[in-house]
Chain A
């Protein structure tokens, strides 16, 4: 097993960092999982991670909410703490070890949410500056109406903070959700060129989007080592 290629990455680590960003219901999580499966089946060492709060932080947020203690600043700092924990524990080690790390949401999620809540964007970016630039950031572009439709169709409960209810945009949960997501979308669109997003038109069938993602990812893997121990199993790689 040769040493993984170093020089071709923006972050200087031997692994690859692929990020999936977009509104709720944009299909990014579905695709992130499918891509992980695909790469795993091709024999690459893959590490998949989601933007899930650790117990430490989610419990604190619950408590802060109950007591009405959270402000845009503490909310933002808490999420940064949580991300830092995930980063130091789960993202950096596999990246250094030469894995393909797939992130369902990354720092950009914090950038858009914090900006929508009125935090200073430069301050937020500095806070997250320990997080390396991804090799590829896929931004799943959908109209807010689709995001909402999918959310409602999935029968998931829309949470208070997902709907941005803390911003007082509307008393109505659905309306607040729609307005908040519009703000997030505006922020994503603003970042698209600055942060070199690969924009994916995500209002198309899952298979179509998936095929496009594979096309985008293949060039990143040229010369990238697969795990010899895994490849001998089933040859589903010939896709």
Chain B
């Protein structure tokens, strides 16, 4: 049993009582196999007997539709968009994630604040601003980063949609009028942001340049640790790198 704790700022109205649930986050760019992995993991956790609530971005009752509308119009500025996403996140955190954790469920988040921070920073926000903005977010028990090369992301995006999405290509940034070129450079920038977060937030980096079942096997091994010592939760959640796709970093376990 642990108590709710946020990254920094207090969250008004957060329950003081200890809770049993687990918050597991799967992060990664579009095409990293994130959604496939979330589905596999959910299935597996439920078979293990853990109740699972899944959540993701742009699913709040409060503003999800409005964000969709705003995206279609391409009329909102970068700061406005970043804050709008924060409303969506906060609404889900308070009205969905916290109650589910308090009730003892595992919350499986298909992306969390990290994607939102990366997008905001790439669009001109400072890291400090983004980190403080999301200071009210709960610290997850575990964050898995599915790390895939941009080439792989590109192939998967084309394979799935037949084209490259405007936003996932960062076309709003005017990096390049050529969508392929823009996609590459945008994804590299997003990747650079995930990169520093690996240490700052203790991500478990998993090589996502492989098949779904290979990735899933690794993710299972990592996720298992969260359920092991239910009695002795305190500490011992050091970050481990399972496989490093890019420049490997020497990390102490």
Give min CB distance, B195 to chain A, whole Å: 23
Across the interface, do B62 and A74 meet the contact criterion of CB distance under 8 Å? yes
Give min CB distance, A92 to chain B, whole Å: 9
| Interface pick from B20-28, B39-47, B128-136 | B128-136
B40-99 at interface with A (beta carbon < 8 Å): 61-63, 66, 70, 76-80, 82-84, 86-87, 90-91, 94-95
Which of B61, B78, B90 lies in contact with A73, CB distance below 8 A?
Answer: B90
The answer to whether B12 has its CB under 8 Å from any CB of chain A is yes
B6-20 at interface with A (beta carbon < 8 Å): 8-13
Which of A67, A73, A77, A126 lies in contact with B12, CB distance below 8 A?
Answer: A73
**Beyond A73-B136, A74-B90, is A84–B80 a contact (Cβ under 8 Å)?**
yes
Across the interface, do B90 and A129 meet the contact criterion of CB distance under 8 Å? no
**Beyond A74-B87, A81-B80, A84-B77, is A123–B132 a contact (Cβ under 8 Å)?**
yes
Which chain B positions have C-beta within 8 A of A126?
129, 132-133, 135
Give min CB distance, B123 to chain A, whole Å: 12
Across the interface, do B80 and A77 meet the contact criterion of CB distance under 8 Å? no
B side interface size, CB within 8 A: 30
Across the interface, do B94 and A122 meet the contact criterion of CB distance under 8 Å? no
Across the interface, do A80 and B83 meet the contact criterion of CB distance under 8 Å? yes
Complex Cα–Cα for A64 and B61 (A): 9
Complex Cα–Cα for A74 and B90 (A): 6
Size class of the contact patch on chain A: 20 to 34
Q: Tell me whether chain A's interface is mostly helix, strand or loop, or mixed.
A: helix
Give min CB distance, A219 to chain B, whole Å: 32
Complex Cα–Cα for A88 and B10 (A): 28
Which chain B positions have C-beta within 8 A of A122?
9, 132
| Interface pick from A112-120, A157-165, A208-216 | A112-120
Having A69-B95, A73-B90, one finds 10 other A-B pairs with CB under 8 Å, namely A56-B66, A60-B62, A71-B13, A74-B62, A74-B90, A74-B94, A77-B86, A77-B87, A81-B80, A120-B10
Could you list some 23 contacts between A and B, CB below 8 A?
Answer: A59-B66, A69-B61, A69-B91, A69-B95, A71-B95, A72-B12, A72-B13, A74-B62, A74-B87, A74-B90, A77-B83, A80-B83, A80-B86, A84-B79, A84-B83, A119-B12, A120-B135, A120-B136, A122-B9, A123-B133, A126-B132, A126-B135, A127-B83
